[in-house]
Amino acid sequence: MKAERAREIYESESTYPVQLDDGQPVWIENVDVANGVATVQVGAKPTNTQTVAVERLQEGRQQ
């Protein structure tokens, strides 16, 4: 995913399914477009956050 798209998803009022390249579902908590990274919550555990390259994020199909 490109950083601009990650930021659009983050700022959207709609909910979009996003996952890491290994299939784990994530919730985008912040996007640093300049550095190409995003802070994400992995799974349903709020304390499980990671900073990852936006290229690792994949947009799933909206249900």
CB 8 within 8 A of CB 15: no
| 23-55 pLDDT tens trace | 999 999 999 999 999 999 999 888 999 999 999
pLDDT at 62 > cutoff 70: no
Spans of all domains in the chain: 3-59
Is 3-59 a domain of CATH 3.30.410? no
What pTM did the predictor assign? 0.88
List, as own/partner pairs, every contact residues 40-46 make where C-beta atoms lie below 8 angstroms and the sequence separation is at least 24, other chains included: none
- pLDDT for residue 49: 96
Q: How many residues does the chain have?
A: 63
H/E stretch holding 29: strand 25-32
CA atoms within 13 A on the CB side of 52: 24
